[in-house]
A and B are shown apart, each in its own frame.
Chain A
Amino acid sequence: MGLRTEGLSRRFYLQDALRDVTLTLPAGSVMLVVGPNGAGKTTLLRILATALRPTAGRASVFGHDLVRAADRVRQITAFVGTAHGMYEGLTAAENLAFAAAMSGRPDRSADALARVGLAAAAGARVRTFSHGMKRRLALARAWLLAPQMLLLDDAFSGLDADGARLVDALVGEVTSAGGCAVLATHQWERGLHLAHVVVGLCRGRLVEVSAAAQVSAPRLSALAGGWI
């Protein structure tokens, strides 16, 4: 099993951001997480990335417990959050070389930049990049890490049609190697064709878990808009 959660919950002070979420995702599959703002999508992904600890429940990624084996989970996971997490005073190539060194991977930054269409901007400082270019650079970092578990928060934010195809290619590469991907997005139309499982969240609660082929467009719109 790629991902398993049991009663996963997270509370911030008195506010429940995620309540009792139980899910499974087989290896080689893609999960699309939809929900309105404040539904708990980012919290779920940050917990899966080990950036946050759950306040209740447990979860494992490819058999590794998120809390007890957090470092093992980090070795096989790439998380692209809503913040690009790049150093703006460094160039694109320097940022990726840093990521490679920190994660103990070989420095294949030139290849990764070429894959996301930023080869010509390798020597430019990230400060000069547009939002979409920064997002592509974050995808290049995920590529460099060659993860088994790919977590994309607001997966298509700032990306044009070419950029969206990069997400498709990255997800395809991860899943074809037996890995998993979890994509959180408002733009379900752009991610549905990749998904095997659709998960709906509303106010931290799980309101939908279905096979992607069985969820209708009106239902997805309702889930994304929080009308459920």
Chain B
Amino acid sequence: MTAWRRAAALARKDLLLEWRGRETITAMAGLALLVVLLLGFVLGAEAARAPAILWVALLLAATLGVSRWTQAEVEQQALETLLLYPGSREHIYWGKWGALTLLLTVLLGLLLAAIGLLFNVDLWARFPLLLGAGLLGIAGLSAVGTLFAALLIPVRGRELLMPLLLLPVELPVLLGGVRLTEAILTGSPGGGLWLGVLAVFDILFLLVAPVLYTVVLEEA
């Protein structure tokens, strides 16, 4: 009960701060829509390109958002206070993960709407499946992102370092997300393999990352 209360309080706090400032979601949505427009313009707005463009936009926007995800604690010198509350620091991880997952889900909704309009893809018939695939990918993105955001707290140029660390690790999510979305949109077989890749990635990082998070924050 205490674990749930602590994680929920942290997620609520992060989302409330984001709702009032709207800094991260605005920057993420701006970048994601720009990537969709640019890639659509350069590669052509063909329906077959939509999955790759959707996931590249989502990943780049997530990278931008993740590097700001501990900003409130760092800028307002609240990290030490947060870490001195009694209880496992895994609860902090789950709270941050939950809030980031929700934020990226909102972004996914925006991106699906934009892709549906610009690429003339009929998303609505397969919307539940697309949303499910998106959530599976987002869970992994958030799992790694939350850990790396903590890892880079003491680093001065963390916004610059974050893409170098995050993008290679998130490659399975990108690949799995693109292939699974393609399979859903075209109705072709082979989606099961990529569903498995995403599920294994999520399970692995959701088991390991909270433990590493407590180690990373031991004396951040």
Contact = CB atoms under 8 A, between A and B. Distances in A.
A173 interface: no
B218 to A, nearest CB: 8
12 contacts: A71-B88, A72-B86, A81-B80, A83-B80, A83-B81, A86-B76, A87-B13, A89-B17, A98-B9, A101-B8, A102-B85, A104-B2
A79 interface: yes
Given A74-B86, A81-B80, A87-B78, 13 more contacts: A46-B80, A50-B84, A51-B84, A52-B219, A53-B219, A81-B81, A83-B81, A85-B77, A87-B76, A90-B13, A90-B17, A94-B13, A102-B85
List the 10 closest A-B pairs by CB distance, nearest first: A85-B81, A101-B9, A83-B77, A74-B86, A102-B85, A75-B86, A89-B17, A85-B78, A104-B2, A103-B85
A49 interface: yes
Contacts of A101: 5-6, 8-9
Interface string A191-208: 000000000000000000
A102 B20 contact: no
A99 interface: yes
A71 B72 contact: no
Interface residues of B, dominant DSSP:
helix
B171 interface: no
Contacts of B6: 101-102, 104
B66 interface: no
A144 to B, nearest CB: 12
A88 B21 CA distance: 11
A39 to B, nearest CB: 20
Contacts of B16: 89-90, 94
Nearest to B2: A104
Contacts of A79: 81, 84
Contacts of B9: 97-98, 101-102
B219 to A, nearest CB: 6
B87 interface: yes
A51 B85 CA distance: 10
Q: How large, as a class, is the contact surface on chain B? A: 20 to 34
A71 B80 CA distance: 14
B83 interface: yes
Contact of B72 (A46, A81, A87, A97): A87
Contact of B76 (A46, A88, A103, A104): A88
B82 interface: yes
A165 B15 CA distance: 36
Contacts of A88: 76
A51 B77 CA distance: 13
A67 B84 CA distance: 13
Contact of B83 (A51, A53, A99, A104): A51
B147 to A, nearest CB: 20
B78 A89 contact: no
A103 B86 contact: yes
A84 B81 CA distance: 9
Contacts of A102: 6, 9-10, 82, 85, 87
A106 B206 CA distance: 30
B17 A71 contact: no
B219 A104 contact: no
Interface string B193-212: 00000000000000000000
Contacts of A75: 86
Interface in A46-61: 46, 49-53
A71 B86 contact: yes
